[in-house]
Amino acid sequence: MALRYTLPLGSKDTIKNLVFTILTKESPLKLVELTHLIRRRYGRQVTFQAVRKAALELVQEGVLKKTIKEFSINKEWIFDAKKQLDALYLEISREHQRPTRVDSIRGEVSVFSFDSLNQLMKFWQDIIDDWFEHFKSGDPNINAYQGRHLWEALLHPDREKQMMGRLKRKGIISYTLGTGNTPLDNYIGRFYAKIGLRVGFIPAKSLVDRTYYVGTYGDMIVETKYPQELATRLEAFFKKCIQKKKSNN
């Protein structure tokens, strides 16, 4: 991604910066008004010609928009700059959610290691986004997920809602099966049901169910094996919610 973003324009007291700063607060303005404001507010003894040159350069760069006699901030430039910066922020953020280790096996299976559940979740969501972007009519349209606790909705409910809404719009049918059986599990299940998933629960007590999570996206299978310590902590958290609810009653 090539970032074309004009600001910052060097030193804060350059004429271009002063012209831009003034126009962000008062717009539109004529050149004579800009010259007067720079002299009065910032104590700069600038010439009319210097202000004109700075303003026209900003117009050429797309930062300002010029009518017959007045200058103003170009809103299209603002939207474009924000879009590029948002994309840059997303790219930088993804650097922190990438796996700490990647091992490929026979080119068909990749094994990823993560430092946190949140890091894992964001990477998993990226996989779903990629599947969604490349989904074509006629492709397998089933998404199924199974896990001990559907904890993802606790961290990023808005992200989950947005993602599932996108899948529905492409005719993808989503199923979720939870093997936990606590009030919090049921609460999260109702949340997912409201955003269009078909949710079911089959309570299970085996250790395998507590550590193993799996999702299918078309012909792709994503499997996750949690460390036993992490699975135990998740179990304790969900059971703690039971105890808290009982004590409140």
pLDDT at 51: 93
Tell the residue number behind the tokens 């004429």, with chain if given: 15
Task: Report residue 185 as tokens.
Answer: 């599990």
Residue 60 burial class via C-beta count within 10 angstroms: exposed 0-12, middle 13-18, buried 19 and up: exposed
Strands 29-30 and 173-178: unpaired
Residues 162-211 pLDDT 10s = 888 888 888 888 899 998 888 899 999 999 999 888 998 888 766 557 88
The percent of residues in the chain predicted with pLDDT above 90, rounded, is 14
Q: Are 182 and 241 in contact (CB under 8 A)?
A: yes
pLDDT at 202: 86
Domains defined for the chain, CATH in brackets:
15-81 (1.10.10.10), 130-248 (no CATH)
Q: Which residues pair with 64 in a beta bridge?
A: 73
Which is it for the CA torsion 72, 75, 80, 85, positive or negative? positive
Ranges of residues in the chain whose predicted pLDDT is under 50: 1-10, 106-107, 243-249
In angstroms, what CA-CA distances link 208 with 101, 205, 211?
24, 9, 5
pLDDT at 165: 84
pLDDT at 112: 76
Q: What is the mean pLDDT of the chain?
A: 79
pLDDT at 3: 35
pLDDT at 222: 86
- Cβ-based neighbour number of residue 99 at 10 Å: 15
Sheet holding 198-201, edge to edge: 198-201, 173-178, 142-147, 212-217, 220-225
Strands 29-30 and 70-73: antiparallel
Task: Report residue 141 as tokens.
Answer: 């349209």
